[in-house]
Amino acid sequence: MSETEDSPTIPIVGGTGALGTGLAFRWAGGGIKVVLGSRDPERAADVAADVAGRAKGEVSGMSNADAVGTGEVVFLTVPFASQSETMAAIRDSLEPGQIVVDCTVPLATAVGGPPTQTVGVWQGSAAQQAQKLAPEGVTVVSALHTISAQGLADPDWVPDEDVLVCGDRKADKARVAELISRIDGLRPVNAGSLETSRFVEQLTPMLISINIRYKAHSGIRITGLPEGDPFS
């Protein structure tokens, strides 16, 4: 891996889509190197060039499996219907000690339903399903479910919201929180263990429902928190 603690590289599996490119736009614009993964390396390179140009930053593209090896913390931004298949495709490329940040929302669109509903997941949440599919020594943290990809891609949109981070190891959540806080206007909040992700994943269809009515990029804000870092 070419990254260092001060100068991370952020691989995004399924990074050519709405959320991946939105995050890449923000991180790259803030001087962080981003690698977009795709099933199609050529597509990844084309999309990366476009994002790099808009963000005036460093973004490259490659296969999902190759992207995984470029950074310690790997973001997974694929539709729920392809989460299992994608985890299987990157499984052999993941190394013990790596963190997979699962952003998957089990929207009912996976079975032809509306985006204002979800489907049940046997393991309890999409994040817990990802953990089941991860190799030994790789931990899953869940985050970013309530952030609007459209908003992230819009240079005029100034985020001012919280990101609920769920995971079973404090140190992993702290690592992920540090990367999230590098996007101006996003405050990571320690929401609890990975199983808490089942609640967080249900917030997205509610926000989509609000967005439809207000034509907005709504988000969430947790009130009443003391100052200080709940991840350390």
- Shortest distance, position 227 Cβ to ligand NAP, whole Å: 27
By rule CB under 6 A, what string of x and - marks binding of each residue 157-186 to ligand NAP?
------------------------------
DSSP 225: P
User: What are the E-state strand segments in 26-146?
Assistant: 33-38, 59-63, 73-76, 99-102, 139-142
Short-list 14, 103, 2, CA closest to 58: 2
Residue 118 makes contact with ligand NAP by CB under 6 A: no
Q: Which residue from 9, 16, 70, 142 is in contact with ligand NAP, where contact means CB under 6 A?
A: 16
Residue 148 makes contact with ligand NAP by CB under 6 A: yes
- Shortest distance, position 229 Cβ to ligand NAP, whole Å: 24
Q: Which residue from 32, 138, 140, 147 is in contact with ligand NAP, where contact means CB under 6 A?
A: 147
Contact indicator for 75, 23 with CB cutoff of 8 Å: yes
CA distances from 113 to 5, 118, 146, 202 (A): 42, 8, 20, 15
Bridge partners of 33, per DSSP, are 9
User: What is the contact surface with ligand NAP in residues (CB under 6 A)?
Assistant: 14, 16-20, 38-40, 43, 77-80, 82, 85-86, 103-105, 107, 144-145, 147-149, 204
